[in-house]
A and B are shown apart, each in its own frame.
Chain A
Amino acid sequence: MTVTTMEGALPARPSPWASRISVAAVYLFVVVLFLQIVRDDTLAAILGLLLIHGYSVIVLLYWRNLERSAAGDKAIVTLTLVYMLLAVLFWDRFSALPWSTFFGLFVVQAVALLAVRFWKNLRKAPPTAWFGMVVVLFYVMIAATAPIVAPFTETEIVGAEYEPWGGQFLLGTDNLGRDWLTRLIYGARNTIGIAFVTTCLAFLIGGLGGFLSAALGGWVDQILGRAVDVLMAIPSLIFALLLLSIFTNYSVFGLKIHPMVLLVVIIAVLDSTRVFRLARAVGMNIVVMDYVEVARLRGEGLWWVITREVMPNAMPPLVAEFGLRFCFVFLFLSALSFLGLGIQPPTADWGSMVRDNATLITFGDITPLLPAGAIALLTVGVNFVVDWFLHQTSGLRDDH
């Protein structure tokens, strides 16, 4: 019998003064940054301050309900302070791009909160999982603070075409004379961002559909299931190319669909079929449990059954699938960009960067392989994390 004693007594906080001072410091930092953004616009200033406070309340509420320790508190405070210190040291860059600075702060805090929340599990993570997490975190941080980290701006032509490595341009320039390193960093932001949004959408569609199918059964299940079968019957890359070319010049209520939105929606719909299958299979195993029957016997509606009884128990396999799916979407997106139908220029994107500069390979220059390597590294990292997560939740042990 395992009885957790976590909730019994919360361990003592670090000294109240230390935390008060750090909270005040963070607050000051945020407000100063914020004033950088709004400058003279009073209305925006009021709205923005309200927004900041709303966000703080949410974070604090989560923070209070968190099972945490003094060490965890310290870790969060320290990480935040380190980020702020960096910001103060390089104040010129950071203050010039306050939005990115905000976003970076948000990511740092979110990561710190998550790390503290799952510290019990993290401590036992194998080296491969740590490697994966470090890689993923590195990418996320780069993506979040891309404008600050990158030496130039995304589309700026700064030199001659195909300049070599070194000097002003660390990794040389591309076919139009744009800085490679800058493009690579912005590529992380664009590719990862779009892949993330797409995966989220795919899970929203597929997950909801799958759970509906499992909970309702009968003809709903049949219709959704057959529709998914039809979608899955067509090879996805060809299907995506087809749909992209059909809908590119399509308009809704006289408005042309933004190509990025179109891309995200099409990939999300195609990928949601796999999520649907998984969610349905996992959901099927859960809806036959007695506790779901209890809920039905009580007269609970469909929404309650799906969100309260089925979903929490289906989370572990779905979260793992999210990691894997993210990789596939990411690769798919790069493949589409490589074919010229994905993210459109001049937006930096790893897939199209490989294609645009492919000629260099024939001259023995490996620069075009860097984005490919970046894709590969992230995929490997995410897979390591997912493997570890699956191992954890499936209750497998390391005997023999």
Chain B
Amino acid sequence: MTTETGRGAKGDILLTMRGLKIEGQADDQWHVIVHDIDLDLRRGEVLGLIGESGAGKSTIGIAAMGFARPGCRITGGSIVFDGIDLRAASEEEKRKLRGARIAYVAQSAAASFNPAHKLIDQYTEMPVQHGVMRKAEAEAEAKVLYRRLQLPEPETIGFRYPHQVSGGQLQRAMTAMAMSCRPDLIVFDEPTTALDVTTQIEVLAAIKDVVREFNTAAIYITHDLAVVAQMADRIMVLQYGHLVEEGIAREMIAAPKEDYTRRLLAVRSFRKQGQAEIDRDKPLLRVENLSASYGGTVMVLKNVSMEIHKARTVAVVGESGSGKSTLARAITGLLPPLEGRVFYGGEEMPPALKQRTPEQLRRMQMIYQMPDTALNPRQRVRDIIGRPLEFYLGMRGLDREERVRELLTMIELEPDEFIHRLPGELSGGQMQRVCIARALAAEPELIICDEVTSALDQLVAEEILKLLQRLQDELQVSYMFITHDLATVRAISDEIVVMLQGEIVEQGTKDEVLSPPHHEYTELLLSSVPEMDPDWLDNLLAKRAAAS
């Protein structure tokens, strides 16, 4: 147990956990999900908890408030917050602590705000409830904090409803709310995971600034090592509820001791090797001046043209709302475009899905972001993969069964074990593999991948990328890879299309786009991707401040 702290050595120990053990209920049985965790946090110190989903990081974060989620229970160890034993404390005592001295910022600010009340009313509720301030004082205070967190129009933004501000602003308003009673400890549970990279920067900067300003201790939970490197003084790496490694952030990033930490650090290092020769005159897919809108007057796609060649990967990059998914929908015919044409293998495709022949549909397949909603929960893997075989290729009976097994082997799932499973009996990564197999079953030439890795843990996502790459090498399929994650783009793409508000702002080969000179927006996107260097955020902010 290290007692040394980095720059957070500003005071006494605030929170201590010893031998913390938490159990969770699944299938009517209790399983240990957090094993003997020891944790020390000093005043003003930021502790990063990192690990993949299921590592128990959120459970520990919530336990810091003396609370266990429904379906979980704390079965062992001690939690002492500033001299108060939270396991022995009564509900009433804990209620007084929560909000006033310990605050919590959840991953989805949109889901945590009550949509029926104005932001400022939700802000003032807590200090007024705890008797720290009167309402007018709290309101004045809120405006100060809003300004501090660099929210636009800090005087009036509080009088808006949650749906009237953007996701990044909402997350900052949430942070302001957590700060309202000047707590000693804030638990940040993946506060930026749901945000775009460019928005993430703003929120990270704001959180870092206020935590430092008010000397608040924080537990920062994330699965992204690069983000935690910016925020934390000390990092604890967790896996399956066990502590893997603990240390000072800088030291750990520079010299990880454990293999698991090293794998987490190396997660973005995968690079595509070599690329197929292309025939410039014969693109597989050519999109000409595509424009589309969702029934309204607002154009979601404006005059988009692009090409995809055989056995190549084209990454389409942009923030949410940039029209990249709409582009995929327009190409597949799910959303017939208003203008423009789609050529596939030299032949013009009818604009609407209904007008296309099964053969045309077969040649272009799609994989989705959320594998759990893309698989019918009532169909077994055999039928999920078997249906395209039956539908497009007319395979039945033993032929079909054999081919399904071949495909399962191809996506590295043991056929005997997985063929009769339901999607609910698969992990996220396995589900995404089944989705890939379903797309492959149709023997397509182009697969459109819509954010296929963003719902997955980093290590799993990397495995999926490697699998997709191997399949491309073996089967010569082309990918249109829609993503907001530039690390993925670096890893897998041959060509890049950058989109902003429905328009293509830059396109070209990977080297052209990723090396300067960039378009202004590409530059912003590229510079916003967190790097492992702990000084990256400070340097970047300094650079941006100097530029403006």
A binds B: yes
- Report chain A residues within 8 Å CB of B438: 294
A15 within 8 A of B: no
Within the complex, the shortest CB–CB distance from A295 to chain B, in Å, comes to 8
* Docked-complex contact B420 and A312, CB < 8 angstroms: no
Q: Decide if A294 touches B425 in the complex (CB within 8 Å).
A: no
Residues of B within 8 A of A297 (CB): 332, 334, 353, 361, 365-366
Task: Flag whether A161 is at the interface (Cβ < 8 A).
Answer: no
Docked Cα-Cα span, A313 to B373, in Å, equals: 12
> Would you call A39 an interface residue if the criterion is a C-beta within 8 Å of the partner chain's C-beta atoms?
no
User: Is A293's CB under 8 angstroms from B334's CB?
Assistant: yes
Query: Nearest chain A CB to B59's CB is how many angstroms away?
Result: 16
> Does chain B have a CB within 8 A of A40?
no
The answer, among A291, A298, A299, for a CB contact under 8 Å with B375, is A291
Determine the distance from Cα of A298 to Cα of B363 in the docked complex, in whole angstroms: 10
* A296 B424 Cβ-Cβ under 8 A: no
Whether A299 contacts B370 by the Cβ 8 Å rule is: no
Q: Which residue of A lies closest to B392 (CB)?
A: A298
B403 contacts partner chain A, Cβ-Cβ < 8 Å: no
Are B374 and A299 within 8 A (Cβ)? Answer: no
Partner of A312, one of B373, B378, B424: B378
The answer on a CB contact under 8 Å between A299 and B361 is yes
Contact of B366 among A294, A308, A313, A400 (CB under 8 A): A294
Residue B427, interface by CB 8 Å = yes
Kindly provide the distance from the CB of A273 to the nearest chain B CB, expressed in whole angstroms.
27
Q: Identify which of B70, B356, B376 contacts A400 (C-beta below 8 A).
A: B70
Selected interface stretch from A1-9, A254-262, A349-357, A361-369: A1-9
Report if A399-B71 is in contact (Cβ < 8 Å); known contacts: A290-B370, A290-B374, A312-B378. yes
Chain A residues closer than 8 Å to B392, beta-carbon distance: 298
Q: Among B28, B374, B379, B387, which residue has its beta carbon within 8 angstroms of that of A298?
A: B387
Q: How many residues on B have C-beta within 8 angstroms of the other chain's C-beta atoms? A: 33
Chain A residues lying within 8 Å of B346, measured Cβ to Cβ, are: none
Distance, CA A290 to CA B379, complexed state (A): 14
Q: Nearest residue in A to B72 (C-beta to C-beta)?
A: A399
Q: How far is the CA of A399 from the CA of B388 in the complex (A)?
A: 43
Judge whether B30 is part of the interface by a CB distance below 8 angstroms: no
**Mask for B364-398, Cβ within 8 A of A = 1, else 0?**
01101010011111110000000110011000000
Q: Complex: how many Å from CA A377 to CA B128?
A: 53
A102-B44 Cα distance, complex, nearest whole Å? 79
A291 in contact with B26 (CB, 8 Å): no
Complex Cα–Cα for A107 and B26 (A) = 36
A298 touching B353 in the complex, CB below 8 Å, given contacts A3-B425, A397-B70, A399-B70: no
Q: Is the CB of A289 within 8 A of B420?
A: no
B358 at the interface (CB under 8 A from A): yes
| CA–CA, A290 and B26, complex, Å | 27
B279 within 8 A of A: no
Q: A384-400: contact bitstring with B at CB < 8 Å (1 yes, 0 no)?
A: 00000000000001011
Q: Which of A2, A124, A293, A312 contacts B26 (CB 8 A)?
A: A2
B26 partner residues in chain A, CB cutoff 8 A: 2
Contact with B along A278-303 (1 / 0, CB 8 A): 00000000000111011011111000
Name the B residues within 8 Å of A2 (CB-CB): 26-27, 424-425
Q: Which residue of A lies closest to B365 (CB)?
A: A297
Query: Smallest Cβ distance from B407 to chain A, in angstroms?
Result: 16
* Contact yes or no, A313 B376, CB < 8 A: yes
* Contact in complex: B377, A313 (CB < 8 Å): yes
Q: Which of B330-371 contact A (CB under 8 A)?
A: 332, 334, 353, 356, 358, 361, 365-366, 368, 370
Residues of A within 8 A of B374 (CB): 290-291, 294
Contact indicator per residue, chain B 416-449, by CB within 8 Å of chain A (1) or not (0) = 0000110011010000000000100010000000
What's the minimum C-beta distance from B104 to chain A, rounded to whole angstroms?
A: 19
User: Assuming the A-B contacts A7-B420, A291-B373, A400-B70, are A300 and B334 also in contact, with contact meaning beta carbons closer than 8 angstroms in the complex?
Assistant: no
Residue among B365, B378, B427 with max Cβ neighbours from chain A (10 Å): B378
- Shortest Cβ gap from B342 to chain A (Å): 15
Please give the distance in Å from A162's CB to the nearest CB on chain B: 56
Given contacts A297-B353, A298-B391, contact A290 B368 (CB under 8 A): yes
Which residues of chain B have C-beta atoms less than 8 A from A312's C-beta? 376, 378-379
A221 at the interface (CB under 8 A from B): no
* B443 → chain A closest CB, angstroms: 13
* Chain B residues, CB < 8 A from A3: 421, 425
Which A162-199 residues have a C-beta within 8 angstroms of B?
Answer: none
Select from chain B the residue with minimum beta-carbon distance to A124: B28
Q: A291-B375, A312-B376 in contact; A300/B425 too (CB < 8 A)?
A: no
Collect the chain A residues with CB atoms within 8 Å of residue B332's CB: 297
Whole-angstrom distance between the alpha carbons of A378 and B373 in the complex? Answer: 39
In the complex, whether A321 has a CB less than 8 A from a CB of chain B is: no
Q: If the complex has contacts A397-B71, A399-B71, are A298 and B361 also in contact, measured as CB distance less than 8 A? A: yes
**Binary contact readout A1-34 vs B (1 if CB under 8 angstroms, 0 otherwise):** 1111001000000000000000000000000000
**Contact present for A289 and B387 (CB under 8 Å):** no
Q: Which residue of B lies closest to A296 (CB)?
A: B353
Q: Does A73 contact B (CB under 8 A)?
A: no
Find chain A residues with CB under 8 A from B361 CB: 297-299
Residues of B near A291 (CB, < 8 A) are 373-376
Q: How far is the CA of A308 from the CA of B361 in the complex (A)?
A: 20
- Interface residues as binary, A296-322 with B (CB distance below 8 Å gives 1, 0 otherwise): 111110000000110011000000000
Q: Contact between A299 and B27 (Cβ–Cβ < 8 Å)? A: no
Chain B residue, CB-CB nearest to A288: B373
- Check B373–A1 contact: CB distance below 8 A: no
B391, A299: Cβ atoms under 8 Å?
yes
Known A7-B420, A312-B376, A313-B376: A299·B70 in contact at CB below 8 Å = no
Q: Is the CB of A1 within 8 A of B427?
A: yes
A289, A293, A296, A299: most-surrounded residue (chain B CB, <10 A)? A299
Contact B378 A289 (CB under 8 A): no
Complex Cα spacing A105 to B392, Å: 45
CA distance A3 to B28 in the complex (A): 14
Instruction: Determine the distance from Cα of A1 to Cα of B422 in the docked complex, in whole angstroms.
Output: 12
Residues of A contacting B368 in the complex (Cβ-Cβ under 8 angstroms): 290, 294
Give the distance in Å from the alpha carbon of A294 to the alpha carbon of B376 in the complex.
10
22 A–B pairs (Cβ distance < 8 Å), ordered by A: A2-B27, A2-B424, A289-B373, A290-B370, A291-B373, A294-B366, A294-B368, A297-B334, A297-B353, A297-B361, A297-B366, A298-B391, A298-B392, A299-B356, A299-B361, A299-B391, A300-B391, A309-B376, A313-B376, A313-B377, A397-B70, A399-B70
- Nearest first, the 10 A-B pairs at minimum CB distance are A312-B378, A290-B374, A399-B70, A291-B376, A290-B373, A299-B361, A290-B368, A299-B358, A289-B373, A3-B425
Could you list 11 further interchain pairs (A-B, Cβ under 8 angstroms) beyond the known A290-B373, A291-B374? A289-B373, A290-B370, A290-B374, A297-B332, A297-B361, A297-B366, A299-B353, A299-B391, A313-B377, A397-B71, A399-B70
